[in-house]
Structure 1
């Protein structure tokens, strides 16, 4: 079943799952990747360049990752006050070159519109918020996801001549476009970036589902129905849905060749199903 799911014969892998208050973060080691060279991801992509961890300012994720040995990419001695609105930002690399975004929230500065997550009262001080796909053609990728997800982005922006963005990305005169899709009423987001300076190059072909780097999953209520609907829309699936462990799963490539998967918990009340994580 795993061979079918990942599209590779004689697959061998180990998996560790970290449970955030609102998402699962899976680390998978495939035996055939053990000798593959690693390098730091480029900020300007292309591909899925990072996921984001948020914390309250007083439990700074920046400090915690730096103390754990993360290589900070952003300039300066601390996270960047990007917009002056109560959130500081930084990019960093883990030991394998995967990029992560770190956001620190000052709830007092954010004011009435900032709702503290309920899990803070349980002592859970770090959570995940988004995945970022960097593309050479943001309109094309946005239209693709609006079609397969059947809803539109909620926000778009063009950014240039902003020193704080230069500091965050460690790129002089950075210029980019960005689109955001809201995935739930709280903070889960898919964000798409197209860098104009430096220019995001086009990735040709499909990334393998077992390749080093990032992929992401969308949990669905009826995976067979979603598989059929998306296949009719032209989504390129690796296989049919496969039952593996506690989830039905299927991998796919989007129009840019990025890897993503659909999954459905066998038990809708599974503690590892996203709706249960957020209770």
Structure 2
């Protein structure tokens, strides 16, 4: 059995060695002849503060974080990098018009879109862009062209936004000014109709009038207290609880005394006349 295995191994060793050598040789030949693939990457940082030229633009374009389906700024930027507009601008940079066409640099927007990979680095504002090619110089140039095209597209977007905001203000500001002037005209007519010259002066006059009324109120209250005090004293003197009855009794008493005084004066005048008549008879 051992002799059979040894003879079988010796008989198959040469074909196996030939096959192994052929595989190794083919792999080496393919490695030597196959084109080398070069890969390069670039990273871009998204600064959200530079995405708008004005506070109004940020207010108009920014959505609350809790809005369902709200777009992510960094995801939007990643899609912008692979957009046809940016890639077309990058290809125009690689091969400007008027230069001879280079077969190695001849790329279409679709080929470039499939060749580049854009990845969002987790928990950061960084975008990682990678590109592979057999031309090492082309790899670096493509990444630089894409980065520059993205920056230019962002700048163009900001300029478009600024133009939109300017047009919005040019339309809305005059309309608001017209409304303000109309409101001021209506207010002026109302003042003239009601005799209000100035709201400040009218307010000051109302404050002064209110102060006068409060002073008069305090004076009346003081006079009322004084009258009540005098009424109490009059009740104590006359012994009458009703102030009206006390006043009437006081007047009645005064009338009786006047009658007595008048009677006495009349009697005195009568005596004077009598004395004068006597003196006249004697002389």
Higher helix share: 2
Say which one has the larger Rg.
2
User: Which band: TM-score by shorter chain?
Assistant: under 0.3
Give the TM-score normalised by the residue count of structure 1. 0.16
Give the TM-score normalised by the residue count of structure 2. 0.16
Higher strand share: 1
